Structure 1
């Protein structure tokens, strides 16, 4: 039931309160699971379609699988010779080869990934030959719930028509395409809240403010600044104000310590957050200072009003120590030396 939840902390908590995902929500978790291959993702939702009693979900899964396969077929098609395939380094975005055929681009990307221990993207670009090629479908899509309308066509701006992401082994992780028709895209539109791909899921959440957490999909650490009350209030605002929300809005605020000694907030999915401190490395001054800074910031967020001044000074001091160890060039730019309270270095 909980194998699709990346965080061990959240798996155990959801089980303890007997929260169960229905098949529709399970399909959403599969579709948004960050560490799944493209093929694995399609196979997993097809397997779910074979067992679910939700006929609407079955139909949606069939539509999505067909759409993904059409995207892949369109990506491979260059019979007209009107396109080129460009291999890019996934890490730095640098262009590392231009090819007339996908197969040659793919073989080259495998060699490049092996030589540089990285993953690659292969993007498909239109070759502009005449005036007709200079009018293309717009790559951006407007959100109708926010009143954003974007014309379907625009002047050519050099954007690729499609792209495929690979891992280091050359296995497909994601396909994105602008080659299918508007009608085909609307069937599986990400702005249709009744579909399984990107729905908002109302989950329970009860991690304490000030906790040190690990984002398990990236391995980064931070300090949680929103807890159960904040989450419950957020759910109520969504309901009361009838906000449009999707999967990306399943989020709580987490602060991460930057090399400049400042605390930068990010919005993270609680299903990916695990209560876990960084590994303590004896004799590693940077490691120990980083952990001390996180604990000081967590204590500050948990403190009562009368404690805030004293605990706030510990936040400033440990942040300065961390920045000094990192010798970051931005150390002066955030006015860390002049900071009087934690809010001065929070952004």
Structure 2
């Protein structure tokens, strides 16, 4: 998916381009044009929510948030941004500290889930991880040094919105699982992190409070309709929109967060099967396939199936034919 660079976004703000009616930070060309057509206006918290969830480089993301913080008059948003940045700094600081008996494991994201090595410190694991020029994760794992088994690990955090009793944290027995993890891109930049090392209300509030800018649910107008053929921005994944219904019960609306604003898209894979995705429309664009594209017949007939016309038998034959053609290209 297309990500704007820190320089591009900061230049937009210096020039006044990320205004209420500027849409250059939206990845999808179709969405940018549609929002402009509707004269949609973004609030500061809208911009903070989208940029927080679309910029993958942690340092870049925090620079953008600090820029928004310095310009907004929204006191609540200012406080939330300050809390977020301080929380992440604390998570990284505690993650690096290794005074209570931990090991650091390394896994490359695009390869198998097998651990590539164990290291005595995060610094050593990062040096090793940077060598391949691939995205990787460093996880922090409790290390048993004697006969005593560690009975409990730092509290595991749960979304209180999903439990009737509102529980947020529990103590659990040691099972060998990681208690924190930092993800890096191919250049070694931090892109994401999670931690069960940081206890207290601030951790749960930042992770699960759907009234905060990071997690809040809000809908954008979009140009996509059921049966549209679309592609995911910045990828070769092509599929068909099968559901655009955002209707929710009042109960669900109360617990909905940013990730719940999604269209259902069925992506055609090389094996002739369709894979079900939930995708925010800011990452979708319409696509017109050429007659030479072997996916065209399958997707166009899939549109007929979704709209209630056409034969499943003939559709299955098209999928089988596409599968055979794709296998011959491998």
- TM norm structure 1: 0.80
Deviation at 1:82, TM superposition (A): 1.1
The structure richer in helix per residue is 1
Q: Secondary structure at the match of 1:315?
A: helix
- TM norm structure 2: 0.84
Structure 2 residue 78 is the aligned partner of structure 1 residue 73: no
Q: Distance in 2 between matches of 1:45 and 1:315?
A: 48
Identify which range, 255-264 or 193-202, moves more after superposition: 255-264
Q: Secondary structure at the match of 1:254?
A: strand
Q: Distance in 2 between matches of 1:178 and 1:64?
A: 16
On the 8 A contact 1:254/1:267 being kept in 2, the answer is: yes
On the 8 A contact 2:28/2:282 being kept in 1, the answer is: yes
Identify which range, 216-225 or 89-98, moves more after superposition: 216-225
On the 8 A contact 2:230/2:239 being kept in 1, the answer is: yes
Aligned to 1:121: 137
Structure 2 residue 100 is the aligned partner of structure 1 residue 89: no
Aligned to 1:261: 272
Deviation at 1:218, TM superposition (A): 4.5
* 2:259 aligned residue (248, 252, 257): 248
On the 8 A contact 1:110/1:170 being kept in 2, the answer is: yes
- Equivalent residues in 2 for 1:32-111 (5 A)? 32-33=53-54, 35-78=55-98, 80=99, 82-91=101-110, 92-111=112-131
Say if 1:129 and 1:267 are closer, same or farther in 2 by CA, change over 3 A.
same
Q: Distance in 2 between matches of 1:187 and 1:293?
A: 45
Deviation at 1:272, TM superposition (A): 1.1
Say if 1:294 and 1:27 are closer, same or farther in 2 by CA, change over 3 A.
same
CA displacement 1:289-333 (0-9 Å, x = unmatched): 22221122124334xx5xx135x55423311211223459xxxxx
On the 8 A contact 2:228/2:240 being kept in 1, the answer is: yes
Say if 1:238 and 1:301 are closer, same or farther in 2 by CA, change over 3 A.
same
Aligned to 2:9: none
Give the paired residue count: 304
CA displacement 1:43-76 (0-9 Å, x = unmatched): 1111100000100000010011100100111111
Aligned to 1:323: 323
CA displacement 1:88-114 (0-9 Å, x = unmatched): 111222211211122211111111x23
* 2:284 aligned residue (266, 270, 273): 273
Question: Where does structure 1 lack aligned partners over 5 or more consecutive residues?
Answer: 283-287, 329-347
